[in-house]
Amino acid sequence: MNARILHIATNTFREAVRDRVLYNLIAFALLMSAAAVLVGQISIQIEKLVVINLGLTAVSLFGIVIAIFIGIGLVSKEIDKRTLYTVLSRPVRRWEFIAGKFLGLAGTLVVNTFFMAIGVFAALAYVSHHLESPDLGVLVALYFIVLQFVIITALALFFSSFSTPIFSAIFAFWLFVIGNFAQDLRNFAAMAHGTARLLAIGAAYLVPNFSALNVISQVAHGEPVPHRLILLNTAYVLVYSAAVLSGAVLIFERRNLK
């Protein structure tokens, strides 16, 4: 890999992990997993289902908050504080800066997810006293959650390349919400006619398909996740993120940094 991209990614990772706000969010996520154990104890025979549902939802939500919270400032904060000036005055191309920032935040989120996942598995082991092979589905759900983070990171970085942090956060958050209803949007597109159908199809495919990446309920009920879905989702996220990042690079390459 390009060494400069790696150095930018490392610096981004270092800045992110030393930010105390990150630790607070991870702590909240771990507390949620612990709370899931308590809730599970008052739900007869479905403790495991409650722990997996609540625990993974906490990992997903808090991870999305971290991705948006850090992602929206990745470019705009560096412009506002002029830290970008001393980077781009060096032999660093603008696309390398975007790529490095993306990898740095994605790496941060993977590490965060790892620690939050420990909490989920600890809670699961506590309620079920031992882990079984269907519990490996939780790993797949966690992998899909990380893929969601990759898309959100790319989107936050895209908006950050031209917009203010507030608007970037609003756009990224709303895309996350709408993306969870992407399947409904596609169903609507199938039923619509004329211009509405065209618009609905366009929106359905532009909006990230977070509904396909959400297998929490399936895994909580012990249903296996098909290998084909894992491959398709991975390919989808890679292509979608690459497209979004390309857009970020195109905008950023032409931007005057006032």
Which residues bind to another protein, rule: CB under 8 A? 3-4, 7-8, 10-11, 14-15, 18-19, 81-93, 254, 256-258
Q: State whether the Cα torsion 204-247-140-216 is positive or negative.
A: negative
Q: Which of 129, 258 has the CB closer to another protein? A: 258
Least Å distance, CB 28 to another protein, is 21
Q: Which of 227, 254 has the CB closer to another protein? A: 254
Least Å distance, CB 19 to another protein, is 6
Q: Which of 82, 129 has the CB closer to another protein? A: 82
Quick check: 134 and 222 in contact, CB under 8 A?
yes
Q: Which of 9, 58 has the CB closer to another protein? A: 9
Least Å distance, CB 43 to another protein, is 42
Q: Which of 3, 42 has the CB closer to another protein? A: 3
Least Å distance, CB 6 to another protein, is 9
Which single residue is written with the structure tokens 């082991």? 125
Cα–Cα distance between 131 and 129 in angstroms, integer? 7
Quick check: 22 and 15 in contact, CB under 8 A?
no
Q: Which of 7, 197 has the CB closer to another protein? A: 7
In the chain, what is the straight-line distance between the N-terminal and C-terminal CA atoms, in Å?
31
Q: With CA atoms as reference, report the closest residue to 91 among 12, 4, 2.
A: 4
Cα–Cα distance between 73 and 71 in angstroms, integer? 5
Which single residue is written with the structure tokens 């997993």? 33
Residues with Cβ < 8 Å from 47, sequence gap 6 or more?
A: 37, 40, 41, 127, 128
User: For the CA atoms of 195, 196, 197, 201, what is the dihedral angle to 10 degrees?
Assistant: 110
Least Å distance, CB 164 to another protein, is 16
Angle at 163 between CA 160 and CA 168, to 5 degrees: 60
Least Å distance, CB 27 to another protein, is 18
Cα–Cα distance between 159 and 162 in angstroms, integer? 6
Least Å distance, CB 89 to another protein, is 4
Q: Which of 43, 83 has the CB closer to another protein? A: 83
